Amino acid sequence: MIQTQQLCLKYGSIEVLKDINLTFKSAGITSIIGPNGAGKSSLLSLVCRLQQPTSGTVTLNGKQISQIKSPELARELAVLRQENYIVARLTVEDLICFGRFPYHQGRPNAADIAKIDNVIDFLDLQPFRLRYINELSGGQRQRAFIAMVLAQDTQYLFLDEPLNNLDMKHSVNIMKRLQQAAHVMHKSIIMVMHDINFAACYSDEIIAMKQGRIIYQDCPEMIMQSQVLENIYDMPLKVVELEGRPLCLYYR
């Protein structure tokens, strides 16, 4: 279980995160939603030790993450940011092999290679296996990166807008795969999402942020109501029911 206590982040006098107290469950899919500038990506950075908080702590199973050694922590949680730019010329296979780095430290063995093959099959990346990542389309590259963090085989997986650049078919595919990973392999997947409908459809829990604070943390049924969403996003929208599922219409 990952918990945050009074987490704050400030850049000078600008408060990006104010007194965040959260508990992330150890299994299931959690979506973090909110308008731009709410502090979602910053929260992810702080929880995954990519940045140091101004004040407050993050604990993993009771132990502070600043006390846990980084290689050990890399086997417990993984993070994939929004922007990933790599200068080196890597093939998809090489990239996914890096996902196993916390285990093989540069010398992959047969078990690592088996795991890499597994992940490539899991996300249908076989046709691109030996292609260089800078020669792939944005969507294909995104899938390769998701494969990499999946290969890291951690209990907690933090994804910042994983459906960026993905077409409809692959967005649905990835969400189904992630749901499979969460429920079958008992992983906890925490994603920052912009598409509220995807979040509602696949999440077990939704956390809503606004202006650096958590304003709602509840199951999708409670969040998917017109007033709640209007409060979060500050825009007129409508929640309708389609085939027994809530759907948010905000396009006009």
Partner 1 sequence: MHTRLEFPEPLKKRRLLPIVKLTANYRLCLAALLALATCLLYLSYNVTASWEFTLQFRAKKLLTFLIVAIAISTATLLFQTLSNNRIITPAIIGFDSLYILIQTALVFLLGAMQYTQLNVYLKWSIEISLLVLAASFLFQWLFVKKRHSLYLLILIGVVFGVLFHSLSSLLMRLINPTEFTVLQDSLFASFNAVDPHLLLISFLVIGCIGAFVASHHHQYDALALGEAMAINLGINHARLSRVTLIIVITLIGLSTSLVGPVTFFGLLVVNLAYIVSASHRHRHLIPMSICCAIIALVGSDVLLQHFLNYNSQLSIIIEFVGGIFFLLLIFRNKIR
Binding site for partner 1 (CB under 8 A): 48-50, 52, 70-75, 78-81, 84-90, 94, 98-99, 101-102, 105-107, 132, 134-135, 149, 152
Q: Strand pairing of 188-192 and 55-60?
A: unpaired
CB of 73 to partner 1, least distance (A): 7
β-pair partners for 23: 3
- Name the minimum Å distance from CB 96 to partner 1: 12
- The distance in angstroms from the start CA to the end CA of the chain is 40
Between CA 152 and CA 101 the distance in angstroms is: 8
CB of 24 or CB of 198, closer to partner 1: 24
- Give least dist CB 90 to partner 1, A: 6
* Spatial CA neighbour of 54 closest among 76, 68, 39: 39
Q: Is 43 exposed, middle or buried (0-12, 13-18, 19+ CB in 10 A)?
A: buried
**Minimum Å distance from CB 12 to partner 1?**
11
Distance CA 176, CA 42 (A): 26
CA distance 33 to 193: 6
Give whichever of 94 and 204 is closer to partner 1, judged by the CB atom.
94
Residue that the structure tokens 């922007």 belong to: 83
Residue closer to partner 1 by CB (options 100, 210) is 100
d(CA 116, CA 100): 8
Q: How far is the CB of 216 from partner 1 (least distance, A)?
A: 28
Shortest distance, CB of residue 246 to partner 1, whole angstroms?
34
The least CB distance from residue 79 to partner 1, in Å, is: 5
* Residue with Cβ nearer partner 1 (49 or 213): 49
Residue 136, SS3?
Answer: coil
Between residues 68 and 215, which has the closer beta carbon with respect to partner 1? 68
- CA 213, 174, 125, 122: dihedral to nearest 10 degrees? 110
Between the CA of residue 6 and those of 27, 105, 129, 182, 214, what are the distances in Å? 23, 34, 44, 28, 12
- Return the number of the residue (42 or 233) whose C-beta is nearest partner 1: 42
Q: Which is nearer to partner 1, 123 or 148 (CB)?
A: 148
